[in-house]
């Protein structure tokens, strides 16, 4: 399963923040490469998601969310637009809804359904999930290209030789014993 560690180096100009919400199963871990499932249109930017779950007399408390959505890449030839920098969750570790605790949501660095996801288009990340997350990771050499896999993750260059694949970046080192490798994401 793809994932990211806190070691990251990127410019904020290379992050899509505020444009797309998540469309897929929840919870979803950061590190998944995503594609557009519902594009932006000025006429359908926002929609009501319903009330927050608590109803009181004479109180209106509607949640508003984005209609533009991204989903995990499921095909090696998908048009990936970036990699998720934050988890997508509805509940915290105690099973309590995060929609009622924005401060905890920020501390956990996650988004909830309907909210904008944080998508990295270009930068350095410490990544796991190469070749489906198998450990030890084989075939990764520094400087080799990284290609989109079929699980939202990445594969090494030689493993998908005869299919249409999307290049998502370049490996900058050899993988650690537990499968983490420095990846230069470049989808600009």
* DSSP per-residue letters across 41-91: -TTSSEEEEEE-S---TT---EEEEES-EEEE--STTS-EEEEESSEE-SB
- Read off the pLDDT band of 141 (50, 70, 90): confident
CA gap 55, 66 in Å, rounded = 23
Average pLDDT, the chain: 84
Q: What is the DSSP string of 82-123?
A: EEESSEE-SB-TTS-BGGG-HHHHHHTTEE-TTSEEEEESEE
pTM for the structure as a whole: 0.85
| The domain boundary residue, chosen from 71, 87, 121 | 121
Q: Which residues pair with 35 in a beta bridge?
A: 71, 80
Task: Indicate whether 137 and 177 sit together in one domain.
Answer: yes
Question: Quick check: 59 pLDDT over 80?
Answer: no
Lowest model confidence (mean pLDDT) among 1-10, 47-56, 66-75, 93-102: 47-56
- Under the banding of pLDDT at 50, 70 and 90, the label for residue 182 is very high
Tokens of 97: 């809804």
Residue where a domain stops, chosen among 121, 141, 160: 121
| C-alpha span between 80 and 142 (Å, rounded) | 22
On whether both 106 and 133 belong to a single domain, the answer is no
For residue 138, the model assigns a pLDDT of 78
Residue 1 lies in a domain: no
Band of residue 185 on the pLDDT scale cut at 50, 70, 90: very high
Q: Are residues 88 and 113 in the same domain?
A: yes
Give the integer Cα–Cα distance in Å for 52 and 183: 38
Residue 96 covered by a domain? yes
Residues 86, 179 within the same domain: no
Other beta carbons within 10 Å of 134:
10
Tell me how many domains the chain contains. Answer: 2
Residue 72 belongs to domain spanning: 12-50+61-121
């Amino acid at each position: 399963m793809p994932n990211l560690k806190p070691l990251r180096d990127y410019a904020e100009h290379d992050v899509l923040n505020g444009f797309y919400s998540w469309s897929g199963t929840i919870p979803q871990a950061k590190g998944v490469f995503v594609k557009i499932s519902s594009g932006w249109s000025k006429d359908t930017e926002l929609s009501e998601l319903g009330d927050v779950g608590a109803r009181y007399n004479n109180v209106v408390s509607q949640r508003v969310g984005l209609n533009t959505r991204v989903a995990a890449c499921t095909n090696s030839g998908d048009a990936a637009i970036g990699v998720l920098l934050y988890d997508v969750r509805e509940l915290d570790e105690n099973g309590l809804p995060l929609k009622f605790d924005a401060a905890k949501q920020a501390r956990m660095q996650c988004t909830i359904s309907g909210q904008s996801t944080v998508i990295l288009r270009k930068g350095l990340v410490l990544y796991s999930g190469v070749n489906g997350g198998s450990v030890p990771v084989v075939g990764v050499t520094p400087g080799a290209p990284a290609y989109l896999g079929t699980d939202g993750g990445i594969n090494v260059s030689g493993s998908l030789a005869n299919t249409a694949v999307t290049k998502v970046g370049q490996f900058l080192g050899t993988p650690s014993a537990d499968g983490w490798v420095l990846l230069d994401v470049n989808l600009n």
